[in-house]
Structure 1
Amino acid sequence: MKTLISIIIFLIYTFPAFCQEGTRFETLSFKEALAKAKSGNKLIFMDCYTSWCGPCQFMSQTIFPKKEVGNFFNANFINVKYDMEKGEGPELQKKYDVQAYPTFLIIRPDGNVQHKIVGGFQESDFFISLVKQGLNEETSLAYLGEKYENDNINKQELVDYLLALRYSGENQKYQEVNQKLQPVLTAQDRLRKEFWPVIEIATFDSEDFKFLARHADEYKKIVDPKKVDYQIKMIYRVAIAQTIRPGAKDPLNQLKQVEKELEEISLEGKEEFYAQIELNRAILTKDKEKIISMAEKNILDSNNSNTWDIMNALNSLKSELTDKELNRILTWEKTYTSADPKMKDYYNDFFENFKALVCPQVYYYDLNYKEALKRAVMQDKQTLLVLLPNDANRVKIQKTLNKEKTRKNINLNFITLDISPDSKEGKTLSQQFEINSYPAFIIINRDGTLNRKIMGIIEDNTLVKQIMSN
């Protein structure tokens, strides 16, 4: 009887573990985890996360619950996770110098780090492959790092070390090792299948990418041809996109270089890049007519992959467009909004933004306060709440706000709401922002916090200056 009871108790406590398909993170103090790792002759896998980290949540909710991920981690590690801002977290964050989230550490029973991986990953197979590199001591970050520092590392180990560094967050060391590796690699080394992972992390201005572009056909014999084409396209796509980012170095020359290389390389579907190059060149030179013409042409091409970029380009120039150019853009509204139902809301917001700019008076959005805050984020604006009693001053103030220069500035920089102080929302907002006299103007930052408020009768020029001051 006692034996039967013991079996039942054993099943009660162990059945959930057998049923759980995903990764089992144990509730242990770090000291307990080290002790368990030592007694079980296992390594510790530690997930360092924070509650506000999006990639941390993705890994927790999407990757770790997968059966194949659980099978791998449960068999090979003592799995623990710690919020770096709670409990033991801050002490562990300091101990292991965790600077980014998520960070995944493979820790030996003596407490020393064997391997480190930084960042979230969408593909479980790829994530497991990175962890396997750290699970194998001879390809782990710590082992290879020690060999590198002792100048006792061969060519293949140098490649493995570079790959380990790529996903460790140690960018400076990665650049150092990459520079040391390049001169010792022969063409034959580069064309080995084992070297392909280094090619996968190449950038446009790197020697690895130049080699890939010259030897694409040879790589297709040792790697999936689709993978080779995808990698080349991805590098070109990133290189083109970087030309319009703040701080880009010599962007026009880079566009010219990409264009030249595309003409010389055999790449299926490379035509898609020419329109993006043309658009980015127009953005950089502020060629309004070119951008507007490309958008106009885009109306007739429902398969154009550059729609989003063209619309963003128009948005970036909106403060420089004339009323004639704005009205020309507004003639496309019906065509765009009816072309793609999935994009209808985006196009409605986009064209309303331009309607505001061409409006002959202050453009008041037909939104409630919460909706206005969301719209302000989408359009990268602040929110302006105008609370005007229905009295003689209302007409005078509206006249001041509707002067051409003032209303253009307001329509360009704000999502503006006309709210009656006597309405339910007006009373709520007056209480929330402690408004005790009218007229009142409340300016809200993009993050929803109060920027400033202006209350009472103020001289016209002073009112305009206070509304438009940063």
Structure 2
Amino acid sequence: MKKIVCLLAGVFACFQLFSQGVDFKSVSLKEALEQAKTQGKMVFVDCYTTWCGPCKMMTEQVFPQKEAGDFFNTHFVNVKFDMEKGEGKELSTRFKIRAYPTFLLLEPDGKVRYRIVGGGDLEEFIGRVSRGLQEKNSLPVLDKEYTTGKMSKRRMLDLVMTLQDAYDADRLKVVADELVKRLTFNEKVSTPYWVIYEDNSLSPLTSDNFSFLLKNKAAFEKNVGETKVNQKIASAYSGMLYSYVAGFAKKEDMPRLDVMKQQLDEYDLPDKTYLQTKLALAYARCNEDIDQMITLLKKEIYNLPQGELWTLATSLDFVKKQGNKTQWQQVAELGDQFVEAAKAEDLKGYLKSYFSSFKKLASVGVYWEDLTLEQALKKAERGKRMVFVDCYTTWCGPCKYMTSNVFPQEAVGDYFNPNFVCLKIDMEKGEGPELVKRYGIRAFPTFLILRPDGSVYHKMLGSGEADAFLKRVREGMEEEHSTGYLDKLYDEGNRDKDFLTRYVKSLLAIYEEDKAKEVSGVLLGLLEESEKVDSNYWFIFENPTLTSQKSDNFKYLIDHRVAFIQSLGKEKIDNKLYSIYYNRLSYILKGYDKKSKVEDVVYMKKEIEPYKLEKKKELLACMKITEAYMEKDVKGLYASCKKGFKLFHDDEAMNIAFPVLKYLNSEMKEKNKFQELVNLLLANIENESLKEYLSKNMEG
């Protein structure tokens, strides 16, 4: 057994010896500290978040390197924690993590020896960590020396560097200012103290440190090197100019630009041409000269440093509010050049997404994003908006009308583009079929207004003219009118009669038939008998979906016919009964209802016998025709049609007669008799278009 254990230990040791990169242990911090104590090491903690770019850079590019593994695996037990999940949340509070990435060097007892904020290339980063490994560079040791008031200048420099690594800006400035006051001229321009003048936070363009650097540029170049000094000066100018280009500086700050222009003309700095371009952009931004900014960027776009593309692109943000459609279009076109100039694919993606907002603003009519629904939801979340989805099909006439006549209108675009991320999705292609199921889409066009989490805020059906459509959308954006809000109230248990009435009507308007049946059933269960026959609730019995011929609502209508007539009038009740029977007969003849039998039609005839319906003759004629059609009795069908067609008008002609004539056209041998029926039908049709259609399609 001992041999097996030794063998496994040897294999594990070899695996560690030949492994690449930093070996981050999947253990708790407590377990890591125990391992460090056993192994005589310290603990290295990577405090990261999933959204932090520098964190990802360190994880993907720095820590996997063999040299990183050789260094960190030798000196530390390495662990990493997401500061927004699990143990990371507690550690974030415990160690006061304020920025990402933060790296902690912990003693085996859990005390912080050294803190490093921010990543970097491997060689530079190992240098910072190596400083931290020396206990003399730890903040507790340095602070103890500092409080004595007898700290040497070199040790104060160590404190400055430790505070730089810890990103403790306030204390850093105090200590650095105190140190600079103690330095001789020769010390100030020497290499060891260059870190003070190189630090942008300690030597910004307007500081005494930077003035000293400019005044003694030659001395710094001699000791530190011309390249480093010029890069620092160029960096300082670039940073200050960015504050102008980005709009942080005010117009009254422009005299400072004149000073920078004079200084830039004097010094031969790296990227001087670019700095002069940035200076010109700063002047244009301060003057809010949109056209000049567009002209400058258009001219220099392919000469701009890659690292500055995003910075300069976003400097145009103010144009969204202060520009006009022409300028938005120019910026949108400039955006295409920015994307083309970018080399990194992720930068291209960011730029494309950023400039899409200008394309949207420049658009006359609704701007449709080229995104998946998931991408659109994420974009909506970032912009604190909602997603508007046009759920269409290629064969849908009203869909085409909206696309051609409503959405291209400027007034419609002016409302939609700032308020929504807009998508058009064919419900029969790509992700469309899945969305049909997900959102219960039953008719076209359907319009969805979705929250960034993908839930329905509001749902609408059907086309309309621009003004009416905009009114519907605006009303839907008011929470109390939104379908999502009504769903929420119902699910939370609201059973107020007025609310349920409004909810059922809303569901019917968007063809949520199953839900409408459920809610209307709840509503009817709350009503008194006298209320059920009241006009306020007639919409339930009037609706074909809620009151079909086989439904409980229909039975209630039949059983309480007299009460309904007394409340609403005979004409309304008769017309409703007629339409219920008529619709079922039409569905049978058109082939939509394949379950009904001849016996069902016979029963219907008996059912209406006691009723003195206004259109009873027409309805009986429809029933006799349907009965003969279902029995495939050609002679009986001919006789029924000859008698019934005399009573038919436009609606019956299309929904009852037309499917029957299609059948007779193929079954009747006497074509003259068939034509006789056609002529008889056409004689009663008033709509000329319908008459023309039937004539063309019913030639004997």
Aligned position for 1:287: 289
Stretch deviating more after TM superposition (152-161 or 421-430):
421-430
**Matches of 1:93 and 1:450, distance apart in 2:** 33
Stretch deviating more after TM superposition (418-427 or 168-177):
418-427
1:55-134 equivalent positions in 2, closer than 5 A: 55-84=54-83, 88-121=87-120, 123-134=121-132
Stretch deviating more after TM superposition (347-356 or 17-26):
347-356
Contact 1:419 1:426 in 2 (8 A): yes
Cα deviation for residue 324 of structure 1 reads: 5.1
Change over 3 Å in CA distance of 1:140–1:268 after alignment to 2: same
Name the SS of the counterpart of 1:114 in structure 2: strand
Cα deviation for residue 449 of structure 1 reads: 4.9
Change over 3 Å in CA distance of 1:107–1:183 after alignment to 2: same
**Matches of 2:28 and 2:372, distance apart in 1:** 49
Which one-letter code corresponds to 2:460 in the other structure? M
Contact 1:134 1:141 in 2 (8 A): no
TM-score by length of 1: 0.79
Structure 2: 5+ residue runs without aligned partners?
Answer: 480-700
1:163-182 equivalent positions in 2, closer than 5 A: 163-182=161-180
Contact 1:84 1:92 in 2 (8 A): yes
Name the SS of the counterpart of 2:192 in structure 1: helix
Deviation string, structure 1 residues 310-358 (Cα, Å, up to 9, x no partner): 6555565256544555677788899x59986959977988887666555
1:262 to 251, 261, 264: 264
Change over 3 Å in CA distance of 1:245–1:322 after alignment to 2: closer
**Matches of 2:310 and 2:25, distance apart in 1:** 45
**Matches of 1:326 and 1:46, distance apart in 2:** 47
Cα deviation for residue 284 of structure 1 reads: 3.4
Contact 1:107 1:113 in 2 (8 A): yes
Contact 1:103 1:117 in 2 (8 A): yes
Change over 3 Å in CA distance of 1:450–1:398 after alignment to 2: farther
Cα deviation for residue 132 of structure 1 reads: 1.6
Deviation string, structure 1 residues 119-148 (Cα, Å, up to 9, x no partner): 222x11111111122111222222112222
Deviation string, structure 1 residues 350-377 (Cα, Å, up to 9, x no partner): 8876665555443445665456568879
Which one-letter code corresponds to 1:160 in the other structure? D
**Matches of 1:343 and 1:104, distance apart in 2:** 28
Aligned position for 2:647: none
Change over 3 Å in CA distance of 1:246–1:13 after alignment to 2: same
Change over 3 Å in CA distance of 1:174–1:431 after alignment to 2: farther
Q: Which has the higher helix share?
A: 2
Change over 3 Å in CA distance of 1:258–1:374 after alignment to 2: farther
1:8-407 equivalent positions in 2, closer than 5 A: 8-26=7-25, 30-38=29-37, 41-50=40-49, 53-84=52-83, 88-121=87-120, 123-202=121-200, 203-245=204-246, 247-248=248-249, 252-298=254-300, 302-305=302-305, 312=314, 316-318=318-320, 320-322=322-324, 325=327, 336=337, 357-365=361-369, 368-369=372-373, 383-387=387-391, 390-391=396-397, 395=401, 399=405, 401-407=407-413
Cα deviation for residue 17 of structure 1 reads: 1.9
Which one-letter code corresponds to 2:239 in the other structure? V
Contact 2:365 2:412 in 1 (8 A): no
Greater relative contact order, per chain length (Cα 8 Å cut-off, separation 6+): 1
Cα deviation for residue 116 of structure 1 reads: 1.0
Q: Give the percent of matched residue pairs that are identical in Structure 1 and Structure 2.
A: 28
Change over 3 Å in CA distance of 1:373–1:284 after alignment to 2: farther
**Matches of 1:161 and 1:37, distance apart in 2:** 27
**Matches of 2:298 and 2:52, distance apart in 1:** 41
Change over 3 Å in CA distance of 1:83–1:460 after alignment to 2: closer
Are 2:464 and 1:465 aligned? no
Contact 1:115 1:142 in 2 (8 A): no
Which one-letter code corresponds to 1:100 in the other structure? A
Stretch deviating more after TM superposition (433-442 or 237-246):
433-442
**Matches of 1:257 and 1:450, distance apart in 2:** 56
Cα deviation for residue 392 of structure 1 reads: 5.4
**Matches of 1:94 and 1:348, distance apart in 2:** 38
Over alpha carbons, which structure has the higher Rg?
Answer: 2
Stretch deviating more after TM superposition (421-430 or 347-356):
347-356
Cα deviation for residue 193 of structure 1 reads: 0.8
Name the SS of the counterpart of 1:453 in structure 2: strand
Change over 3 Å in CA distance of 1:91–1:425 after alignment to 2: closer
**Matches of 1:47 and 1:370, distance apart in 2:** 31
**Matches of 1:468 and 1:243, distance apart in 2:** 39
**Matches of 2:339 and 2:80, distance apart in 1:** 49
Contact 2:32 2:77 in 1 (8 A): yes
Name the SS of the counterpart of 1:243 in structure 2: helix
Structure 1: 5+ residue runs without aligned partners?
Answer: none
